Structure 1
Amino acid sequence: MNPGPAAERDGTGEEAADDDRLARRARALAVARSVRASAAGLPDSPPAPHWRPGEQTLRLLTVATVAAVTAVVTGQAWLLAPGAFAAVLLAFAAPGTGRPARLSAESAVGPRRCFEGEPVTVRVTVAHDGRIGRPEPVVSLGPGLALDALTVTPTGVDLVLHADSWGRRHLGVVDLDVPDAHGLTLRTVRTDLGTVDVFPVPDSARLTPIPVRLPERIGEHTTAHEGTGVEVVGVRPHVPGERQRRIHWPSTTRRDAVQINQFAAERAADAVVLLDTLADYIDTATGRRSLDETLRAAAGLARAYLRRHDRIGLIAVGGQLRQLAAGSGDRQFYRLVESVLEARQDRPRRGPLPPLPLAALPGHALVYAFTPLADQRILDVLGQIRERGNPLVVVEIPAGEPTPRPGEEIDALALRLWRAEREAMRATLRGRGIPVVGHTPGETLDLALGPLLRRRIMGAAR
């Protein structure tokens, strides 16, 4: 007798319920494993490359064994029936029947480059040459990653991840427990998801202060010298050979002599971003990390200068000295960020810092030093820049104040000393003629750079 529509709906509903239950279980396992992986690191040992009994096989063997022992103990032969039925099922679906000889997992990740918080899609597919059941995934995510969605398919699993902070992130590994067609045996296959480059979200910035001296290169910054720009700075008497369209007719009429508009020259600027990566401090009040805010602010400033067709370079001082020659164009922004993506993995440097390379500082380039002003060694680096005559601006990134314990006089005294030391560093820099501006994370960088527009930044005399 053919089943009716109700029976078909019931069967479909049961399959859907099983799929939902399996998906929820897989997601729970993935989330639990990812949390453990964040605390204990990714698993090192690969899964065993052989088939092993599955849960269904263990259940059938348990039924057969319990039935046989109970029948022998009680002397009731009819108790052998459940065990015989389980043995028949095991014999009917013998392990190895139709089981694939080749089994592997392949992953496809996209995109490999993204910004903080953007989704990363991962598709893991099982490659085989036989019949298999629905796989069950166990996901181990790398540090700094979160699982947004997990979907189990008949041939694999689809994941949606995102990174909370910038850096070169290892996505982690996915272990797939693949059963055979009868569900009696299992085999685990692993695939490594590789790495992704997570770029910081630049802070909002539009202002681009400029130094007194600019290189002889056409740009968008107005100078005090006469040139071929578009900004009129005065008039002067006509010289034979001048274009007629530059005649300033009101002045010509008043003075009874031909007067010519005088335009200011427009030049491009060279800027260098100096990143202090000596340490990464955590603000206990807000949970912000100084290294994250340093790169976000620097990326916002670099993007503002690149939009004005200026050249900008990079120097990162920390566990490893990193540098990038000044350049322009959209690609330069990504070169700047990629050069410091691995700064988190650098070992802290002990002792004095090496001297800055000459090639990293173009002549008269404006240097922006992004630093939390928490390490005295950064003053030596800033002193080297000042000695070379480059104009310098220090952008202070807050590192978060230590939280004293209530009622502890020693903690309160230590906090006062900590504040006094930072104020002494600021006073030392200002005493050398170096402007120090403070940047508040979450606010636009223009608020900190606005006072610098009152006059052009001067370098030290060499």
Structure 2
Amino acid sequence: MIDERSVDVEITWRTSSLTRALATCAGIALAVAVVTSQWQLIAFAAPMLGLLASIRWQPPPRAVLVHATPGVLRCFETERVTLTVRAENADLTIEPCAGMDIESDTRTTELTVSAQRWGRYPVRARCRVSARGGLLTGTGTVDAAELFVFPVAPPQVTPLPRTELLDRLGTHLTAYVGRGVEYGNIRAYVPGDQLRSVNWPVSARRGSLHVTERLSERAADVVVLVDTYDQPAGPATAATERTVRGAVQVVQTALRNGDRAGVVALGAQPRWLGADIGRRQFYRVLDAVLAAGADYEVTSGTLAPRAALPAGAIVIAFSTLLDTDFALALIELCRRGHVVVAVDVLSRAPFADDQDPLIHRMWAMQRSFMYRDMRTIGVDVVPWPDDQPLDQVMQLVPDHRRVGRP
């Protein structure tokens, strides 16, 4: 079912050009009549004065409604979508906002919209209406529909941090013996082993039954933490682009591998979406990142809610690491027992390049000290340079697996 949105437009009224013309002509005629004492000019101005006085008896203005079908549109970057916008009791004009392309004929209701960059774009409609017999004219602007443009993630597979995974069937190869397809070892037969695991060629050569051990393949729970706090102007603001794209790439890889994925956005309006599997979950995550739809949960505070992170979940955070509250949230997740990896999307100092070189050097040293302190607490921080893809950056995460087998 196509969603239709109806919005009541608030009209700002003013006198029309007809009213101003009538008032001007009547005023000039009356002034000339008084100066020249010609009563005929009063008879000339009387119909115009009567028309102006009839404004009280003219029909009142009717409500103006703008209908958009659908009211909420979702698409990816450079993708074109079509919607219908129409107005009741008014003339309609679509005003494109910055970054959005609109293709339509003059005064048509069929629109084709697209955008080159991800984000939230309102489709603004400007209405013009006449009332009181044409003596009043009004205009109003309203957001008839909303266009949510999702980012396109790179196709590269993003590796997960190497850590102990949950004992759940998945696609990640481990060093543990279990029900898998990869060869692990050959050992002597023990009563209770399944006959289908018997390696008959080896058993024939050694004269006793031997079985083939397989390595288990497990699944993971991945929760992406997105920094939505206000960033200072400059490189930190531009880093928001990489924050969203990195989060989408991690979720896309996790869902393709059969893992459960969720998202937590911390900032002025914290929101979260629980971990789940499937293609539909991918679009739910996109909605949660851009605050579209109503599938996500809204929370308060500066910490990630416990309900958003399953036990043993892997947390991958994308942030400029300039906000203290976000750093404290990462430390709290580490204390809960999660493996936390923070990707620093700020590739350079958040101030102008014309500063003294000593300032840039001090900034680099301060960031390295912060990386060391975070690793001491348990949060692994990896920088994301501009010239490297995310899949190569994630290879730098240390191995958190235990040595040996249980």
The equivalent residue for 1:366 is 314
- Who is 1:423 aligned against? 368
> In the alignment, is residue 435 of structure 1 matched against residue 380 of structure 2?
yes
Paired residues of 2:318 and 2:343 also in contact (CA < 8 A):
yes
Cα distance in 2 for partners of 1:359, 1:388 equals 12
2:85, 2:145 → 1: CA distance?
15
Q: Which amino acid aligns with 1:255?
A: R
Partner of 1:139: 95
- Report the Cα offset of residue 397 of structure 1: 0.6
Superimposed CA distance per residue, residues 120-149 of structure 1 (whole angstroms, 9 cap, x where no aligned partner): 544332435xxxxx94636374xx553433
Q: 3-state DSSP class of the match of 1:174? A: strand
- Asked whether the equivalents of residues 68 and 145 of structure 2 are also in contact (C-alpha less than 8 Å), the reply is no
226-235 vs 208-217, greater mean Cα deviation: 208-217
Q: Residues 322 and 161 (structure 1 numbering): CA distance in 2 closer, same or farther, change over 3 Å?
A: same
1:327 and 2:276 are equivalent in the alignment: yes
Which residue in 1 is equivalent to 2:64?
Answer: 104
Structure 2 counterpart of 1:200, one-letter code:
F
d(CA) in 2 for partners of 1:429 and 1:145?
38
* Partner in structure 1 of residue 197 of structure 2: 246
C-alpha separation between the residues in 2 aligned to 1:321 and 1:104? 36
3-state SS, counterpart of residue 152 of structure 1: coil
Q: C-alpha deviations, 1:322-370, integer Å up to 9, x for none?
A: 3333222223333333334349xxxxx9xxx755443333332222121
Tell me which of 191, 199, 206 is aligned to 2:157: 206
Structure 1: 5+ residue stretches without partners: 1-44, 71-83, 129-133, 344-348
Within-5 A mapping of 1:155-234? 157-163=109-115, 165-169=117-121, 171=122, 173-178=124-129, 187-188=137-138, 190=140, 192-196=142-146, 198-204=148-154, 205-234=156-185
Which of the residues 281, 288, 310 maps onto 1:339? 288
Q: 1:188 to 1:109 in 2, by over 3 A?
A: farther
Report percent identity of matched pairs.
28
CA contact (8 A) 1:281 1:289 kept: no
For the residue of structure 1 that corresponds to 2:106, the secondary structure is: strand
Shift of 1:63: 10
* Counterparts in 2 of 1:376 and 1:186: CA distance versus 1, 3 Å: closer
2:151 aligned partner, one-letter code:
V
Q: Report the aligned-residue RMSD.
A: 4.8
Q: Is 2:77 the counterpart of 1:127?
A: no
- Residue 313 in structure 1 maps to residue 258 in structure 2: no
* TM-score under structure 2 length normalisation: 0.72
d(CA) in 2 for partners of 1:420, 1:102: 66
Residue in structure 2 matched with residue 390 of structure 1 by the alignment: 338
- Structure 2: give runs of 5+ residues left out of the alignment: 1-8, 33-43, 293-299
Superposed CA deviations along residues 249-277 of structure 1, whole A, max 9, x for unmatched, are 44223322232221112221122222233
- Secondary structure of 1:296's counterpart equals helix
Q: Is 1:445 aligned with 2:360?
A: no
Q: 1:457 aligns with which of 392, 400, 403?
A: 400
Provide the rounded CA distance (Å) in 2 between the counterparts of 1:400 and 1:110.
Answer: 42
Per the alignment, residue 46 of structure 1 pairs with 10
Distance in 1, matches of 2:253 and 2:117, equals 22
Partners of 1:172 and 1:193 within 8 A in 2: yes
Counterparts in 2 of 1:219 and 1:111: CA distance versus 1, 3 Å: farther
Query: CA separation of 1:342/1:241 partners in 2, compared to 1, >3 Å: closer, same or farther?
Result: closer
> 1: CA distance between counterparts of 2:83 and 2:313?
44
Q: Kindly indicate whether the alpha-carbon contact (under 8 Å) linking 1:211 and 1:366 is maintained by their aligned counterparts in 2.
A: no
Matched to 2:285, the amino acid is L
- Equivalent residue letter for 1:290: A
- Letter of the 2:158 counterpart: L
Q: d(CA) in 1 for partners of 2:87 and 2:330?
A: 55
Displacement of 1:167 in angstroms is 4.8
1:179–1:276 distance in 2 versus 1, CA, 3 Å:
closer
Q: Counterpart of 2:268 in structure 1: which amino acid?
A: G
The CA deviation string for residues 357-399 of structure 1, in whole angstroms up to 9 with x for no partner, is 4333333222212121223444433322333332222211126
Cα distance in 2 between the residues matched to 1:114 and 1:355: 29
Q: Which has the higher strand share?
A: 2
1:272 aligns with 2:223: yes
Paired letter, 2:217: E
2:267/2:302 contact within 8 Å kept: no
Give the Cα–Cα distance (whole angstroms) in 2 for the partners of residues 372 and 436 of structure 1.
11
Amino acid aligned to 1:261 = T
Tell me the CA shift for residue 309 of structure 1.
1.6
Residue 337 and residue 242 in structure 1: after superposition, are their counterparts in 2 closer, same or farther (change >3 A)?
Answer: same
- In the TM superposition, 1:22-33 aligns within 5 A as none
CA distance in 2, matches of 1:458, 1:199: 39
Tell whether the 8 Å contact from 1:103 to 1:189 is kept in structure 2 after alignment: no
Distance 2:15 2:226 in 1: 56
Residue 228 of structure 1 and its aligned partner are, at CA, apart by: 1.4
Is this contact kept in 1: 2:181–2:215, CA < 8 A? Answer: yes
Q: Whole-Å Cα distance in 2 between the matches of residues 440 and 401 of structure 1?
A: 12
Give, as a single letter, the amino acid of the residue that structure 2 aligns with 1:280.
Q
Pair 1:148-2:106 in alignment = no
Distance in 2 (CA, whole Å) between partners of 1:399 and 1:46 is 46
The number of aligned residues is 381
Could you say what secondary structure the match of 2:290 adopts? coil
Aligned amino acid, residue 103 of structure 2: A
